[in-house]
Protein backbone atom coordinates (compact mmCIF):
# COMPACT_ATOMS: atom_id res chain seq x y z
CA UNK A 1 0.00 0.00 0.00
CA UNK A 2 1.47 3.33 -1.09
CA UNK A 3 1.45 6.51 0.97
CA UNK A 4 -0.95 8.13 -1.51
CA UNK A 5 -3.45 5.27 -1.16
CA UNK A 6 -3.22 5.38 2.64
CA UNK A 7 -3.81 9.15 2.66
CA UNK A 8 -6.80 8.72 0.34
CA UNK A 9 -8.36 6.18 2.72
CA UNK A 10 -7.77 8.46 5.74
CA UNK A 11 -9.38 11.48 4.01
CA UNK A 12 -12.41 9.40 2.97
CA UNK A 13 -12.89 8.13 6.54
CA UNK A 14 -12.52 11.70 7.85
CA UNK A 15 -15.01 12.97 5.26
CA UNK A 16 -17.61 10.34 6.17
CA UNK A 17 -17.07 10.94 9.92
CA UNK A 18 -17.62 14.69 9.62
CA UNK A 19 -20.82 14.20 7.59
CA UNK A 20 -22.05 11.62 10.12
CA UNK A 21 -21.38 14.00 13.03
CA UNK A 22 -23.21 16.82 11.25
CA UNK A 23 -26.31 14.67 10.68
CA UNK A 24 -26.11 13.30 14.25
CA UNK A 25 -26.12 16.74 15.91
CA UNK A 26 -28.77 18.12 13.54
CA UNK A 27 -31.14 15.19 14.11
CA UNK A 28 -30.43 15.15 17.85
CA UNK A 29 -31.50 18.79 18.14
CA UNK A 30 -34.36 18.58 15.63
CA UNK A 31 -36.13 15.74 17.46
CA UNK A 32 -36.61 17.93 20.56
CA UNK A 33 -38.10 20.85 18.61
CA UNK A 34 -41.73 20.35 17.59
CA UNK A 35 -41.70 23.03 14.87
CA UNK A 36 -38.51 21.66 13.31
CA UNK A 37 -40.01 18.15 13.29
CA UNK A 38 -43.03 19.53 11.42
CA UNK A 39 -40.71 21.19 8.89
CA UNK A 40 -38.90 17.89 8.25
CA UNK A 41 -42.20 16.04 7.87
CA UNK A 42 -43.47 18.68 5.42
CA UNK A 43 -40.32 18.49 3.29
CA UNK A 44 -40.50 14.68 3.18
CA UNK A 45 -44.19 14.87 2.18
CA UNK A 46 -43.40 17.30 -0.67
CA UNK A 47 -40.59 15.04 -1.94
CA UNK A 48 -42.90 12.00 -1.87
CA UNK A 49 -45.61 13.87 -3.82
CA UNK A 50 -42.97 15.05 -6.31
CA UNK A 51 -41.80 11.46 -6.83
CA UNK A 52 -45.40 10.25 -7.32
CA UNK A 53 -46.12 13.06 -9.80
CA UNK A 54 -43.03 12.08 -11.80
CA UNK A 55 -44.04 8.40 -11.87
CA UNK A 56 -47.63 9.18 -12.90
CA UNK A 57 -46.60 11.99 -15.27
CA UNK A 58 -48.71 14.63 -13.47
CA UNK A 59 -47.41 17.68 -15.33
CA UNK A 60 -49.21 20.49 -13.44
CA UNK A 61 -48.51 19.06 -9.99
CA UNK A 62 -44.88 18.45 -10.92
CA UNK A 63 -44.48 22.01 -12.22
CA UNK A 64 -45.93 23.54 -9.05
CA UNK A 65 -43.69 21.38 -6.86
CA UNK A 66 -40.63 22.43 -8.86
CA UNK A 67 -41.36 26.04 -7.92
CA UNK A 68 -41.87 24.99 -4.30
CA UNK A 69 -38.57 23.09 -4.24
CA UNK A 70 -36.76 25.99 -5.92
CA UNK A 71 -37.97 28.70 -3.55
CA UNK A 72 -38.92 26.55 -0.55
CA UNK A 73 -35.50 26.51 1.19
CA UNK A 74 -35.30 30.32 1.14
CA UNK A 75 -38.87 30.62 2.45
CA UNK A 76 -38.17 28.11 5.26
CA UNK A 77 -35.04 30.02 6.33
CA UNK A 78 -37.01 33.27 6.53
CA UNK A 79 -40.15 31.86 8.20
CA UNK A 80 -38.43 29.53 10.67
CA UNK A 81 -35.37 31.66 11.38
CA UNK A 82 -35.87 31.58 15.21
CA UNK A 83 -36.11 27.76 15.29
CA UNK A 84 -33.06 27.32 13.03
CA UNK A 85 -31.11 29.77 15.21
CA UNK A 86 -32.05 27.82 18.36
CA UNK A 87 -30.82 24.55 16.81
CA UNK A 88 -27.51 26.13 15.75
CA UNK A 89 -27.07 27.71 19.20
CA UNK A 90 -27.74 24.35 20.84
CA UNK A 91 -25.14 22.66 18.61
CA UNK A 92 -22.67 25.42 19.39
CA UNK A 93 -23.14 24.95 23.15
CA UNK A 94 -22.44 21.23 22.92
CA UNK A 95 -18.98 20.01 23.90
CA UNK A 96 -18.16 16.71 22.17
CA UNK A 97 -16.13 15.41 25.09
CA UNK A 98 -18.62 16.55 27.72
CA UNK A 99 -17.91 19.31 30.22
CA UNK A 100 -19.77 18.29 33.34
CA UNK A 101 -18.08 16.64 36.27
CA UNK A 102 -18.50 12.86 36.31
CA UNK A 103 -19.66 12.06 39.81
CA UNK A 104 -18.57 8.96 41.66
CA UNK A 105 -21.29 6.64 42.93
CA UNK A 106 -20.93 8.05 46.47
CA UNK A 107 -21.07 11.66 45.24
CA UNK A 108 -24.12 10.92 43.11
CA UNK A 109 -25.90 9.23 46.03
CA UNK A 110 -25.17 12.24 48.26
CA UNK A 111 -26.46 14.70 45.64
CA UNK A 112 -29.64 12.66 45.13
CA UNK A 113 -30.16 12.38 48.91
CA UNK A 114 -29.78 16.13 49.44
CA UNK A 115 -32.04 17.01 46.50
CA UNK A 116 -34.72 14.51 47.53
CA UNK A 117 -34.61 15.78 51.13
CA UNK A 118 -35.17 19.31 49.82
CA UNK A 119 -37.89 18.22 47.37
CA UNK A 120 -39.78 16.40 50.12
CA UNK A 121 -39.66 19.51 52.33
CA UNK A 122 -40.70 21.85 49.49
CA UNK A 123 -43.54 19.51 48.43
CA UNK A 124 -44.85 19.17 51.97
CA UNK A 125 -44.88 22.94 52.51
CA UNK A 126 -46.02 23.80 48.96
CA UNK A 127 -43.01 25.96 48.25
CA UNK A 128 -42.41 26.49 44.54
CA UNK A 129 -38.98 25.55 43.20
CA UNK A 130 -37.07 25.03 39.95
CA UNK A 131 -33.76 23.13 40.09
CA UNK A 132 -31.83 22.59 36.85
CA UNK A 133 -28.97 20.09 36.68
CA UNK A 134 -26.44 20.68 33.90
CA UNK A 135 -25.18 17.74 31.84
CA UNK A 136 -23.23 17.84 28.54
CA UNK A 137 -24.67 21.08 27.12
CA UNK A 138 -23.43 24.20 28.88
CA UNK A 139 -25.89 26.44 30.74
CA UNK A 140 -23.40 29.31 30.93
CA UNK A 141 -25.77 31.78 29.24
CA UNK A 142 -28.18 31.29 32.17
CA UNK A 143 -25.41 31.26 34.79
CA UNK A 144 -23.74 34.54 33.78
CA UNK A 145 -26.63 36.91 34.69
CA UNK A 146 -27.65 34.92 37.80
CA UNK A 147 -26.47 35.28 41.41
CA UNK A 148 -23.38 33.09 41.92
CA UNK A 149 -23.26 30.75 44.91
CA UNK A 150 -20.67 27.99 44.29
CA UNK A 151 -21.60 25.85 47.30
CA UNK A 152 -22.02 22.14 47.90
CA UNK A 153 -25.49 20.79 47.21
CA UNK A 154 -27.44 20.63 50.47
CA UNK A 155 -31.12 20.37 51.31
CA UNK A 156 -30.86 23.20 53.83
CA UNK A 157 -29.40 25.59 51.24
CA UNK A 158 -32.01 24.65 48.62
CA UNK A 159 -34.79 25.15 51.16
CA UNK A 160 -33.38 28.55 52.11
CA UNK A 161 -33.06 29.71 48.49
CA UNK A 162 -36.68 28.87 47.65
CA UNK A 163 -38.16 30.16 50.91
CA UNK A 164 -40.94 32.61 49.90
CA UNK A 165 -39.33 35.64 51.55
CA UNK A 166 -35.98 35.06 49.85
CA UNK A 167 -35.39 37.46 46.91
CA UNK A 168 -34.01 34.56 44.84
CA UNK A 169 -36.97 32.20 45.28
CA UNK A 170 -38.69 33.13 41.98
CA UNK A 171 -35.74 32.10 39.80
CA UNK A 172 -34.13 28.73 39.19
CA UNK A 173 -31.10 27.08 40.77
CA UNK A 174 -28.41 25.55 38.53
CA UNK A 175 -26.38 22.59 39.74
CA UNK A 176 -23.10 21.57 38.10
CA UNK A 177 -21.78 18.25 39.32
CA UNK A 178 -22.18 18.28 43.11
CA UNK A 179 -22.15 22.09 43.44
CA UNK A 180 -24.89 24.71 43.36
CA UNK A 181 -23.46 27.22 40.89
CA UNK A 182 -26.08 29.95 40.99
CA UNK A 183 -29.61 30.96 41.96
CA UNK A 184 -32.16 33.34 40.50
CA UNK A 185 -31.65 32.07 36.95
CA UNK A 186 -34.26 33.01 34.36
CA UNK A 187 -34.95 30.50 31.56
CA UNK A 188 -36.75 30.81 28.23
CA UNK A 189 -40.27 29.42 28.49
CA UNK A 190 -41.48 26.63 26.22
CA UNK A 191 -43.82 27.52 23.37
CA UNK A 192 -45.14 23.95 23.09
CA UNK A 193 -48.87 24.31 22.20
CA UNK A 194 -49.66 20.88 23.65
CA UNK A 195 -48.56 21.92 27.15
CA UNK A 196 -51.49 22.21 29.55
CA UNK A 197 -52.61 25.80 30.18
CA UNK A 198 -52.95 24.93 33.86
CA UNK A 199 -49.16 24.77 34.17
CA UNK A 200 -47.51 28.01 35.18
CA UNK A 201 -44.32 29.85 34.25
CA UNK A 202 -42.11 27.60 36.38
CA UNK A 203 -43.17 24.47 34.47
CA UNK A 204 -42.89 26.23 31.10
CA UNK A 205 -39.39 27.45 31.97
CA UNK A 206 -38.38 23.92 33.00
CA UNK A 207 -39.67 22.45 29.73
CA UNK A 208 -38.03 25.29 27.80
CA UNK A 209 -34.54 24.50 29.14
CA UNK A 210 -35.18 20.76 28.63
CA UNK A 211 -36.08 21.42 24.98
CA UNK A 212 -32.98 23.50 24.29
CA UNK A 213 -30.44 21.48 26.29
CA UNK A 214 -29.95 18.04 27.83
CA UNK A 215 -30.35 19.42 31.36
CA UNK A 216 -32.60 17.83 33.99
CA UNK A 217 -35.20 20.30 35.34
CA UNK A 218 -36.90 19.52 38.66
CA UNK A 219 -40.10 21.39 39.53
CA UNK A 220 -42.19 21.78 42.67
CA UNK A 221 -45.57 23.45 42.16
CA UNK A 222 -46.30 26.32 44.54
CA UNK A 223 -50.08 25.92 44.17
CA UNK A 224 -50.44 22.15 44.50
CA UNK A 225 -47.11 20.85 45.83
CA UNK A 226 -46.92 18.42 42.90
CA UNK A 227 -43.45 17.47 41.72
CA UNK A 228 -42.39 16.99 38.10
CA UNK A 229 -39.28 16.43 35.98
CA UNK A 230 -38.61 17.91 32.54
CA UNK A 231 -35.94 16.11 30.50
CA UNK A 232 -35.21 15.57 26.78
CA UNK A 233 -38.02 17.92 25.80
CA UNK A 234 -40.67 15.99 27.78
CA UNK A 235 -42.50 16.71 31.01
CA UNK A 236 -43.07 13.93 33.57
CA UNK A 237 -45.83 15.57 35.59
CA UNK A 238 -47.18 14.89 39.09
CA UNK A 239 -44.75 12.11 40.10
CA UNK A 240 -44.69 10.29 43.40
CA UNK A 241 -41.57 10.77 45.52
CA UNK A 242 -40.39 7.24 44.65
CA UNK A 243 -40.90 7.72 40.91
CA UNK A 244 -39.25 11.14 41.11
CA UNK A 245 -36.21 9.67 42.86
CA UNK A 246 -35.85 6.73 40.43
CA UNK A 247 -36.13 9.04 37.41
CA UNK A 248 -33.51 11.39 38.87
CA UNK A 249 -31.11 8.52 39.59
CA UNK A 250 -31.51 7.10 36.07
CA UNK A 251 -30.95 10.49 34.42
CA UNK A 252 -27.85 11.24 36.51
CA UNK A 253 -26.15 7.99 35.53
CA UNK A 254 -23.23 8.48 33.11
CA UNK A 255 -23.89 7.02 29.65
CA UNK A 256 -21.08 4.46 30.04
CA UNK A 257 -22.62 3.21 33.28
CA UNK A 258 -26.05 2.93 31.61
CA UNK A 259 -24.54 0.81 28.83
CA UNK A 260 -22.79 -1.33 31.45
CA UNK A 261 -26.08 -1.89 33.31
CA UNK A 262 -27.78 -2.88 30.06
CA UNK A 263 -25.03 -5.40 29.30
CA UNK A 264 -25.42 -6.90 32.78
CA UNK A 265 -29.19 -7.27 32.26
CA UNK A 266 -28.58 -9.04 28.92
CA UNK A 267 -26.10 -11.41 30.59
CA UNK A 268 -28.60 -12.24 33.34
CA UNK A 269 -31.34 -12.94 30.79
CA UNK A 270 -28.99 -15.21 28.82
CA UNK A 271 -28.01 -17.10 31.97
CA UNK A 272 -31.67 -17.54 32.88
CA UNK A 273 -32.46 -18.97 29.45
CA UNK A 274 -29.55 -21.41 29.68
CA UNK A 275 -30.67 -22.59 33.14
CA UNK A 276 -34.19 -23.06 31.84
- Same domain flag for 180 and 204: yes
pLDDT at position 256 is: 55
- Same domain flag for 143 and 230: yes
pLDDT at position 219 is: 96
Q: How many domains does the chain have?
A: 2
Helix, strand, coil in percent for the chain, rounding step 5: 60, 15, 25
| CA distance linking residue 139 with residue 93, whole number of Å | 8
pLDDT at position 113 is: 95
pLDDT in tens, 124-148: 999 999 999 998 888 888 998 999 9
* Residue that terminates a domain, selected from 93, 128, 161: 93
- Same domain flag for 121 and 65: no
Q: Does residue 129 form part of some domain?
A: yes
- Same domain flag for 87 and 129: no
- Same domain flag for 197 and 238: yes
Q: Does residue 268 form part of some domain?
A: no
Q: Tell me how crowded residue 56 is: count the other CB atoms within 10 A of its CB.
A: 10
* Residue that terminates a domain, selected from 33, 63, 93: 93
Could you write out the three-class secondary structure of 33-47? CHHHHHHHHHHHHHH
Please identify every stretch of the chain with a pLDDT value under 50, giving residue numbers as ranges: 95-99, 258-260
Q: Does residue 264 form part of some domain?
A: no
The alpha carbon dihedral of 244, 119, 146, 177 has a sign of negative
- Same domain flag for 30 and 145: no
- Same domain flag for 180 and 117: yes
Instruction: Give the strand pairing for 129-133 and 147-152.
Output: unpaired
pLDDT at position 1 is: 63
Nearest-CA neighbor of 208 among 233, 183, 185? 233
Q: Does residue 275 form part of some domain?
A: no
Quote the distance between the C-alpha of residue 93 and its chain's center. 12
- Same domain flag for 74 and 124: no
Q: Does residue 57 form part of some domain?
A: yes
Length of the chain, in residues? 276
Q: Tell me how crowded residue 50 is: count the other CB atoms within 10 A of its CB.
A: 18
- Same domain flag for 148 and 49: no
Q: Does residue 252 form part of some domain?
A: yes
- Same domain flag for 156 and 213: yes
pLDDT in tens, 223-239: 999 999 999 888 999 99
Q: Does residue 276 form part of some domain?
A: no
- Same domain flag for 82 and 168: no
Q: Does residue 210 form part of some domain?
A: yes
Question: Residue 250's domain spans which residues?
Answer: 105-257
238: left (phi over 0), alpha (psi -120 to 50) or beta: left
* Residue that terminates a domain, selected from 64, 93, 122: 93
Instruction: Tell me the CATH number at 236.
Output: 3.40.1700.10
- Same domain flag for 117 and 183: yes
pTM listed for this prediction: 0.62
Burial call 167-182: b when 16+ CB within 10 Å, e when fewer: ebbebbbbbbeeebbb
Amino acid sequence: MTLTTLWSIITKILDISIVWLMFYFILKNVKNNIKMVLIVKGVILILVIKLISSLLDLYTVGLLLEYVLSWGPLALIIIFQPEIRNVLESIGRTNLLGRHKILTVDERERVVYEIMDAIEYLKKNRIGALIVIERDISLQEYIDPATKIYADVSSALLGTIFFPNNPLHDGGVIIQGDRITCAGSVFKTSMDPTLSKRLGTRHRAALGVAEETDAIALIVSEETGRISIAVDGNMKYNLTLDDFKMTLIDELKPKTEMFYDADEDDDEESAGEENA
